[in-house]
Structure 1
Amino acid sequence: MAPIRLAPDARPDVWRGGLAWTEEGGWWQPWRLPPGRIATAHASGLVTRARMPAGVRAVVRTDASALELRTHAADDDVTSLDVVVDGALWRRTALTAGAATSQVSLPPGAKVVEVWLPQFGELRTGALVLHGATYAAAVDEGPRWVAYGSSITQCRSAAGPSRTWPALVARRLGWDLTCLGFAGECHLDPVAAGAIARTPADVILLCLGINVYGAASFGPRTFAGQVSGFVQAVRDAHPRAPIAVLSPIVSPDRERLPNQAMMTLEDVRRAVTDAVTTLRRCGDTGLHLIDGPSVLGAGDAHLLLPDGLHPDADGYRLMAARLAPRLAGLRPAPPRPATPV
């Protein structure tokens, strides 16, 4: 029985979570922002993060007895590769710099197999190869969900790529995840707003503020307006999709510490709240605010890494447990009234 090869160009119905793929030297490079437009961000760090396949996965219904996947990691910062079978973690494989071939035996019979690429580290992949399979069918993953944010959405310190909080929420709710978490690079870039605008979505979550605080990329005069503009660009493209905005989770040492723009983390959180409240008052009742400390607050600070900023693996699991019911309650926005000229 000949193996079944599932390449991203031939089976885009199987490969999920990437906005685009480019072929590079016999490998496939997943992109989480459009490669033809990303140069307009003028941010090399964002380009690097966009080449990291957080949330990118192959999902297939099959009777295969084994799978094989070739990967090429740019450096040793790469995290692991997860194989999930019928919703349960089956195998986690550590990766290092360079080329590697992962070979995994699978349980007999029909099952849904998910291969999650690492959430951190630049990585290219070959085709997913199924051995002993008579079929390889795509799986409907439900409502399409886009989550945009920082390293706290990319989740480097999660136990594995299938255990980031966006992946856990998507599994619990039966949603089809596109993760646009960019460590250190969530600065409301127009290229990100455009990418979300062009991506089909039934639910959208925007996790805003912590990178703006860290880099002081906006200040008291500009930040709330930038949040409003970003949200409105997304709303114009998705008039009926519920949009939730998550303000920064707790970071005890930063709460009242001014950054270079003279904003504390409390100030940043207040600006996000003001922007969302104002947009709702202007008629966007499909826009929702989730207060970051209600997801991970002062009483949960023991779940932060020593940097006092990033959750550990248990912290990400708690975030998923608290966010899932909040997001599950979102409903499509009602038609918006015409804006007076």
Structure 2
Amino acid sequence: MSDPQVTVSGTAPSAAVARLLPGDPRLSFDGIAGWDRSDGAGLPLPLRMPVDRLDTAMSPILCRLARTTAGVRFAVRTDASELELEAELEADPGGSPLDVRVDGVLAHRWTGGPGRHRMAFPLPGTDGGPAEVEVWLPHLSVTRIGAVTLRGHRHLLAARRTGRRLLVHGSSLTHCVFAAGPSETWPALVAAERGWRLRNLGFAGESYLDQAVARTIRDTPADLITLELGINAYIGGAFTARSWGPAVCGFLETIRDGHPHTPVVVLTPLSSPERERAVNSAGLTLETARSLTAEAVRVLQRLGDRALSLVDGLTVAPVADARRLYADGLHPTAEGEHVLADRIGAELARIPQASEAGPGADEGDAAADMNDPSAGPG
């Protein structure tokens, strides 16, 4: 097999140089559960969920999507004049870009094809102190990471990772297939606006209440959980009127086993005009699927779940707004992502915080493991 293609761009003056590997805590990786180094000759892959039990979903598509790097990013505080990144991308038909943000402002957006790349990005540098430089990996691609090299710096520090931990799960509407870039998906925009930390578990076309996903959410520290449910199950005809509601209840109760007090928000299907009253192969319309999802939430609320909330997808994306919001009658455009961020963000901002610290390991230990590729796939 031939060596992967390497591309190089950008220049920087000779000065201090620091070459950081993915395990370096100064890179402050976030949005990940661990690392995959099963390809011994390749670069380490940041994982947004553990993959050791994914075979239980019996879906090769979900197994691949779980390895895409939606919501995965790293950040440093530095006054460097250049950042260089080694990365290897698998084939991605959408051409998902990579974003570099400096103090929250988009500074660079890079798009490349499959292969190994070396990208160099000039940074503004600062006279008054370090800036936060954050790199968002392509959200639709499987992206392996090599060395991160910084040049021309006096300061090189780990980024501060504070704020409410927001975990989102859903379909392509949460994976955000038409977003302009990984830092402009609605979950990323909501988190950035409020200073929250994002974990994105959106899987385009593969949100089917899989127990492997429920257990991952159960075991992941979070302060607020948002679940966009129903559209994939409706399109795929995967559940009947008899089975969908109980499956939603079971999914939520599995999550509750690890998050007894964490606020959980269920977002019912957004509008899709051509599907609202179209009967699928399991005998459901989208209207019915939405109603059953809402009723499942109300059942658990009646049984005492006071930290469970419901957001009607029609209030976020009404049928009347579909033409303005969607690229294809279902998926939001790049501009639509910003509209959804405003509307969903407003709903989430009203959810009270819980005192629960979150399940699993101590957060400091978890962060150390996530930034260490030798820790394995999680």
TM-score (norm 2): 0.85
- 2:92–2:140: 8 Å Cα contact kept in structure 1? no
Map 1:1-341 to 2 at 5 A: 2-11=16-25, 14-23=28-37, 24=39, 25-77=41-93, 78-109=95-126, 110-133=130-153, 134-332=155-353
Q: CA deviation at 1:4?
A: 2.6
- For 1:217, what is the secondary structure of its paired residue? coil
| Matched letter for residue 146 of structure 2 | G
Tell me which amino acid in the other structure corresponds to 1:43.
S
CA deviation after TM superposition for structure 1 residue 303, in Å: 3.0
* C-alpha distance in 2 between matches for 1:6 and 1:84: 19
Q: 1:38–1:191: 8 Å Cα contact kept in structure 2?
A: yes
Read off the aligned partner of 2:124 and give its amino acid letter.
P
Partner of 2:274: helix, strand, or coil?
helix
Secondary structure, counterpart of 2:44 in structure 1:
strand
Deviation of residue 13 (structure 1)?
6.5
Separation (CA, whole Å) in 2 of partners of 1:112 and 1:334? 29
What secondary structure sits across from 1:253 in the alignment? coil
Match of 1:136, SS state, is strand
- Identify if the C-alpha distance between structure 1 residues 334 and 200 changes in structure 2 by more than 3 Å, giving closer, same or farther: closer
Contact kept, 8 Å, 1:286 with 1:334, in 2: the verdict is no
1:116 partner amino acid? W
Deviations for 1:177-229, whole angstroms, at most 9, x for unmatched residues?
A: 00000001100000000111111001100110000011111111110001011
Q: What is the DSSP-based 3-state SS (H/G/I as helix, E as strand, rest coil) of the residue aligned with 1:221?
A: coil
For residues 55 and 170 of structure 2, what CA distance do their matches in structure 1 show? Answer: 19
d(CA) in 1 for partners of 2:26 and 2:16?
Answer: 21
Alpha-carbon shift at residue 334 of structure 1 (Å): 8.3
Larger displacement relative to structure 2 (104-113 or 249-258):
104-113
| SS, match of residue 238 in structure 2 | coil
8 Å Cα contact 1:286-1:332 kept in structure 2: no
Residue range with higher mean Cα deviation, 197-206 or 69-78: 69-78
CA 286–99 in structure 1, closer or farther in 2 if over 3 Å, else same: same
Task: Assess if the C-alpha contact under 8 Å between 1:203 and 1:242 holds in 2.
Answer: yes
> Mean alpha-carbon deviation: is it higher for 173-182 or for 19-28?
19-28
Which deviates further from its counterpart, 21-30 or 262-271? 21-30
Percentage of matched positions with identical amino acids: 44
The answer on whether the counterparts of 2:277 and 2:286 sit within 8 Å (CA) in structure 1 is: yes
Assess, with a 3 A threshold, how the Cα gap between structure 1 residues 267 and 334 changes in structure 2: closer, same or farther: farther
SS at match of 2:249: helix
Contact 1:249 1:295 (8 Å CA) reproduced: yes
Distance (whole Å) between structure 2 residues aligned to residue 123 and residue 79 of structure 1: 10
Tell me if structure 2 keeps the 8 A contact 1:240–1:332.
no
Unaligned runs of 5+ in 2: 1-14, 357-378
C-alpha RMSD of the superposition:
1.6
Distance 2:291 2:355 in 1: 27
Shift of residue 76, structure 1, vs aligned partner: 4.2
Q: 1:140 to 1:76 in 2, by over 3 A?
A: closer
Residue 338 of structure 1 corresponds to which residue in structure 2? Answer: none
SS in 2 for 1:100: strand
AA matched with 1:28: P
Q: Per-residue deviation at 1:99? A: 1.3
Which structure exhibits the higher relative contact order, with contacts defined as CA atoms closer than 8 Å and separated by 6 or more residues?
A: 2
* d(CA) in 1 for partners of 2:25, 2:299: 43
Moved over 4 A (4+): none
Contact 2:32–2:46 (Cα < 8 Å) also in 1: yes
* Distance in structure 1 (CA, Å) of the matches to 2:24 and 2:181: 27
In the aligned structure 1, how far is the partner of 2:200 from the partner of 2:232?
17
- TM-aligned CA deviation for residue 156 of structure 1: 1.5
